[in-house]
Structure 1
Amino acid sequence: MFVRKKRNRSGTTSIVVAVKIQGKFKEVKTIGVSRDEAEIERFYKEGKIWADNQVKGEDLFEQHTQQTDEVYVTNLLLSNIENILHNGTQLILNRVYDSIGYDAIDDYILRQLVISRLDQPMSKSATIEYLKAHFNEDLHLGKIYRYMDKLYNTQQESIQKISVEHTRKILGGKIGLMFYDVTTLYFESDYGDGFREPGFSKDGKHSQPQIVLGLLVSEDGYPLSYSMFNGTQYEGHTMIPIVDDFVRRFKLDDFVLVADSGLINKKNIDFLKAQGYKYIIGARIKNANKIQRDWLQSLDKVEGHFNETTVAHGRLIVGYSEKRAKKDAHNRIKGINRLEKAFKAGTISKENINKRGYNKFLVISKDVQVTIDKSNVEEDAKWDGLKGYITNTDLPAAEVYDQYSSLWQVERAFRITKGTIEMRPMFHFTPKRIEAHVCICFVAYKVYKELERILKENRYKISVDKVLEVAKTVTTLKIKLPNSGKTMSKTMIITERQKAIEPLFSDDFWKFQFG
């Protein structure tokens, strides 16, 4: 039994104990591996001690060599790590993206931009650096911009078709309810260009150019279609083009359109009736004629009770809610207090006053002399808690109310796309890139909603935002095997928070979901 120094192809030296049996050398123990001459000599001496003890029939060195082996293997592992990827969100979102059917679109850049939008929304320039640092994805900014210039008219149709087909599938084969609403998206710019123009901003950015975005979603808030309009566009004129186009493209014949009272006008209602479309639309009961107003004011305000009458556009259903009544009263008091503070400070004049909101309570006799009309306040209080709905369906009043109440799904879609996905403010300035940006956010929201559905179906008591937050802490080690040259990958699930979502990284979990 003897100790030998063995040179490796990697440049390291192994210290091994060997024996000669029938003219052949056989290694019986590796003491250590190193590049450092001093450490090599130490390993050599330890090998001599171990070999001598073996000859004497003693194994006093066994415990030490086990520890040496552990250090050796660990050092070997660490020295061959090629990369550490912070790709936990990517691993989950790729699965969701594919489960919807977007993998049918052979578009690698779209996939990366969508996942980045959910994982770390930022400018396209910053996204490039993020993809490289976290996922080892190497894209170039110029390529991204060229891609966006063509995305607007190449993939939008396929994207919406996949979204609609997937939504039909998870809703049992039909769309059913469709909810429509609009929002505004502003730009970090001081100038308009004909498309991006200042208008009434739902974000309070009235001086900055904007566009109007119309969004159509299904029951439970799954996105179906969208369209963009000039920043000055009246929202009531946006509904018919997008709804009619969507219905014709996807051949819908059994649906109910639900929309807010801000979208109601004679032209819209006449069109919906002419096309035979079913609808539930919020009614502007305060603008009713005298006969209808008298009827409305005569109603008993009973929680959960509905009253109904026939009007020109269908059935007018009116309900009362104590919760709504308290909210109406609170908002009115808050608005009046704000007005009183403003005119006492001398900041109200005829030049800047309008009749929106609670300014309708003001009486202006001169530019700087304003008072609050108490009779208008008392008249407004009579409507507290009342809400009207116009429909041409034959649904029971309570069901009309329930379906209209789901309109919050569109509002939530806007909150998520503006907040989590950061659709706005926009930093693009050409119609093509604006369209592409909205398209990417549309797909990102669809992926968000599908992950939300999967979590709910599997009874995860954790939000999408929390899952993505935890997934950001999950890393994948890429280790190059020194002899074969092959690369192994290991996703590290270590902490208790990570273990709570561990199934989402498993092949078996996704096979069970979708077969």
Structure 2
Amino acid sequence: MSPYVRTVKTASGARAVQIVYSSRRGSREIEHIGSAHDDAELEMLKAIARQRLAAGQEELDLGLDDGPAAGGPLEIASSRMEHLWDALSRAYAALGFDAASAGDEVFRQLVLARVIEPTSKQDSLRVLDEAGITSVSYATVKRRLPLYAADRWRTALAEACAAHARLGPASLVLYDVSTLYFETDAGDGFREPGFSKERRLDPQITIGLLTDASGFPLMVQAFEGNKAETHTMLPVIGAFMTAHRLSDVTIVADAGMISEANKRAIEEAGLSFILGMRIPEVPYVVKQWRREHPDTQIPDGHIFIQPWPAAATQSRRDQMIYYQYRADRARRTLRGIDEQVAKAERAVDGQAPVKRNRFIKLTGAAKSVNRDLEAKARELAGLKGYITNLPGVTPAFVIEAYHRLFEIEKSFRMSKHDLKARPIYHHKRESIDAHLTIVFAALAVSRWIEHRTGWSIKKFVRTARRYRTVHIRAGRHRLTAADPLPADLRDALNQIHGREGAH
């Protein structure tokens, strides 16, 4: 390809500046830079075209095509990712983070730089420079980090998020945990080996995340890496309820988060819940249905309802348990059972080594396949349990609320992958907490952008960062040029800024 710049007249009488990419085969591609209505605009557009051809050179000699330029090369005064930065700043302000951080510009820059490109705090200054933002020094960043780890700072951000989510007594809040590992050999009381979501043996920390029903973050808290998941939920929810003076919310969590002690503590706190539950035995209502419908397959989507009233000696609300049967879930579960039983049979016959397999029964030195357990597992295939203490709700509401947990899983994926939450460069707890505060705020900004535009944050950043605003000095003139925006990005920016014409 041999690109060159040309000027052509348009039907309206303006002069259009274009970059023409021609090949030896005779094919051409034309990139339209813009249309000029006077000489100053024409020189500006030529400068933009030369900038693209010169791959970012700071000085652009416009005399290459048209002879020596009378004024010499034009100077690019500044180049800025204006559309992207303004959109992220709008999200930051809309969430109330300006007020929550008392206008702290260092924190704002670190949060928005992390959305653009997650990297170390020091390298964030390079990201800001590439975005055309004048940043503070790294020494200033290091001095400010301890402030961002303080409970007061994190509480102010959580209050802003809660106000944005408009939480009330009937609100659903989702809770889940994940782990972040460190590349170090020894624990220090905070970074400790424990059960890893990523199946790693390295020291780690456990992260508890609380979101609203849409996955918008409300609070994040770090725990020791060896702390049991079931022991993290109540401290997070208790701190959140106290900070925001909420009398009740409905907690939605998976079965792995809940122990009997947790459930009792939730009840004692007067909170509502919708929880997934383990099914160790075939429920009575399922057995009864099968007795009444012998040789009949449970219909796909059928829901069994089992009331669980409180005894006179129990200080809890009446509860309701729902068991839903799904044919697709049964198919996947039965396939897994078949594979595990086949492996167990090979191990019992001495054809394969004995590995962890729940269907292998060991009696002294003797091995056998646990057929009773296999039969029970097949009876339970396809069933999923849900329990709630909410009065007057439908099974569909309970199951749909539980399935909202995919939103918090999405937020975890965003924070761990798109925002690279793992605190690689931090070793002290204060530094780790400050890092997680920045990631938390960046996650909130990202979810706000996604909600407003319908785009993933990755797509929005990748698209918007390509369109820069350039300021050029041309003699006594100071010219502003900007790449033309595609229609879909223009619509997304309208959604963010709430302009007329936005959907």
- Under TM normalisation by the shorter chain, which class is it? 0.7 to 0.9
Kindly state the Cα deviation for residue 88 of structure 1 after the two structures are TM-superposed. 4.5
Q: How many residues align?
A: 424
Within a 5 Å distance, the mapping from 1:112-151 to structure 2 comes to: 112-151=109-148
Structure 1 unpaired stretches of 5+: 1-28, 34-66, 354-358, 457-461
Quote the Cα distance in structure 2 between the aligned partners of 1:174 and 1:490.
51
**Which amino acid in structure 2 is aligned with residue 116 of structure 1?**
A
Kindly state the Cα deviation for residue 200 of structure 1 after the two structures are TM-superposed. 0.3
**Which amino acid in structure 2 is aligned with residue 492 of structure 1?**
D
Q: Residues 324 and 506 of structure 1: is their aligned pair in 2 closer, same or farther, counting only changes over 3 Å?
A: closer
Residue of structure 1 equivalent to 2:483: 492
Kindly state the Cα deviation for residue 507 of structure 1 after the two structures are TM-superposed. 11
**Which amino acid in structure 2 is aligned with residue 397 of structure 1?**
P
- Worse-superposed segment, 105-114 or 84-93: 84-93
Please say if 1:182 is aligned against 2:177: yes
Please say if 1:306 is aligned against 2:303: yes
More helix by share: 1
TM-score (norm. length: structure 1):
0.73
Please say if 1:231 is aligned against 2:229: no
Quote the Cα distance in structure 2 between the aligned partners of 1:342 and 1:86.
62
Quote the Cα distance in structure 2 between the aligned partners of 1:417 and 1:124.
16
Please say if 1:216 is aligned against 2:210: yes
Structure 2 unpaired stretches of 5+: 1-38, 44-61, 291-297, 311-315
Asked if 2 retains the 8 angstrom alpha-carbon contact of 1:213 and 1:229, the reply is yes
Within a 5 Å distance, the mapping from 1:288-367 to structure 2 comes to: 288=281, 293-299=283-289, 301-311=298-308, 314-333=319-338, 348=354, 353=356, 359-364=357-362
Kindly state the Cα deviation for residue 509 of structure 1 after the two structures are TM-superposed. 4.3
Asked if 1 retains the 8 angstrom alpha-carbon contact of 2:85 and 2:131, the reply is no
Question: Deviation string for 1:189-216 (max 9, x for gaps)?
Answer: 22211001000001121x1111111111
Kindly state the Cα deviation for residue 324 of structure 1 after the two structures are TM-superposed. 1.9
Q: Residues 191 and 506 of structure 1: is their aligned pair in 2 closer, same or farther, counting only changes over 3 Å?
A: same
Quote the Cα distance in structure 2 between the aligned partners of 1:122 and 1:346.
46
Residue of structure 2 equivalent to 1:470: 463
Quote the Cα distance in structure 2 between the aligned partners of 1:419 and 1:388.
31
Asked if 2 retains the 8 angstrom alpha-carbon contact of 1:77 and 1:479, the reply is no
Q: Residues 71 and 281 of structure 1: is their aligned pair in 2 closer, same or farther, counting only changes over 3 Å?
A: same
Quote the Cα distance in structure 2 between the aligned partners of 1:441 and 1:338.
44
Kindly state the Cα deviation for residue 245 of structure 1 after the two structures are TM-superposed. 1.7
Q: Residues 392 and 507 of structure 1: is their aligned pair in 2 closer, same or farther, counting only changes over 3 Å?
A: closer
Kindly state the Cα deviation for residue 152 of structure 1 after the two structures are TM-superposed. 0.8
Question: Deviation string for 1:385-442 (max 9, x for gaps)?
Answer: 1111111112112211111111211111111111111112633111111111111111
Question: Deviation string for 1:316-364 (max 9, x for gaps)?
Answer: 1111112222232344455567778999897656xxx5xxxxx322334
Identical aligned pairs, as a percentage?
Answer: 27
Quote the Cα distance in structure 1 between the aligned partners of 2:346 and 2:83.
51
Quote the Cα distance in structure 1 between the aligned partners of 2:72 and 2:287.
79
Quote the Cα distance in structure 1 between the aligned partners of 2:182 and 2:267.
37
Asked if 2 retains the 8 angstrom alpha-carbon contact of 1:95 and 1:510, the reply is no
Asked if 1 retains the 8 angstrom alpha-carbon contact of 2:158 and 2:219, the reply is yes
Quote the Cα distance in structure 2 between the aligned partners of 1:509 and 1:327.
46
Question: Deviation string for 1:227-251 (max 9, x for gaps)?
Answer: 1111111111111111122112212
SS, match of residue 220 in structure 1 = coil
Residue of structure 1 equivalent to 2:426: 428
Asked if 1 retains the 8 angstrom alpha-carbon contact of 2:426 and 2:432, the reply is yes
Quote the Cα distance in structure 1 between the aligned partners of 2:123 and 2:155.
28
Quote the Cα distance in structure 2 between the aligned partners of 1:229 and 1:502.
42
Q: Residues 166 and 433 of structure 1: is their aligned pair in 2 closer, same or farther, counting only changes over 3 Å?
A: same
**Which amino acid in structure 2 is aligned with residue 304 of structure 1?**
G
Quote the Cα distance in structure 2 between the aligned partners of 1:440 and 1:266.
35
